[in-house]
Amino acid sequence: MNRALTLSSILVLFLIAGNPVVAKDTWVSVRSRNFLLVGNAAEKDIRNVAIRLEQFREVYSRLFPAAKLDSAVPTTVVVFKSDKSFKPFKPGTNLAGFFQAGQDVNYIALTTETSGAQDPFQVIFHEYTHLLVQNTVGDAPSWFNEGLAEYYSTFTMADDQKVELGRPIANHVFRLRDSKMLPLKTLFQVDQLSPYYNERDKQTIFYAQSWALVHYPDTWQPGPATTSN
């Protein structure tokens, strides 16, 4: 199944019909300054995703003034109400969200449903970082792309002023402590067809080690990086 085509079909049907696209689901759209969001999640949840994405985008622009934030094509965020409704559109069963570039539109797809200890907003920031990397440097090595996305997935903002980045990710710390590290040659050769990218038992050490490699300069600091507006 071509996920981009399927997501595009949902969007077209929604815009043309102005009615629920899927039986028993109410699909709504929210437009913020830089994003079009559509989904079958609650409208307040979709609006919250829009707010957090706009906050992240603003902070990223201040940290990296030379970064290319605007894509040549628009970005649509598809917000599913549950993992069950998201499952048919996943390119991999282990993914909590995904970014997919396209010729006519870029997609970020995710669910707001919490799974275990996972924060759905970590998925949102992870996937949007992929879009920003794609805009700025094009196709980046997988270890860098995933490591950077994991680093920025920890983004939090308090009182619309204080930003925190670089918090340790417990799952990665435990995985690195308990697992044998990949040789750097293997790590650097991983691509989207590799077992280390797609198979759960191998995927976790790849993500953990990629995160650690990007995060490394901050590990000597007394605490996570913070900034204020």
Q: What is the DSSP string of 53-72?
A: HHHHHHHHHHH-TTS--S-S
Mean pLDDT of the 132-148 span: 91
Decide the pairing of beta strands 97-100 and 106-111.
Answer: antiparallel
**Residue 107 CB burial class (10 angstroms; 0-12, 13-18, ≥19):** buried
62 or 95: which leads in pLDDT: 62
Which tokens in the block code for residue 121? 């907003």
* Strands of the chain, DSSP E: 28-31, 36-39, 75-80, 97-100, 106-111, 156-158, 162-165, 225-228
Mean pLDDT of the 97-110 span: 82
Mean pLDDT of the 179-196 span: 92
**Residues 96, 118 contacting (CB under 8 angstroms):** yes
Mean pLDDT of the 120-131 span: 85
**Residue 182 has what pLDDT?**
92
Residue ranges of domains in the chain, CATH in brackets: 1-138 (3.40.30.160), 140-229 (no CATH)
Nearby residues of 4 by Cβ (< 8 Å), 6 or more positions away: 100, 102, 107
**Residues 67, 77 contacting (CB under 8 angstroms):** no
Decide the pairing of beta strands 106-111 and 156-158.
Answer: unpaired
**What is the C-alpha separation between 85 and 48, in angstroms, rounded?**
19
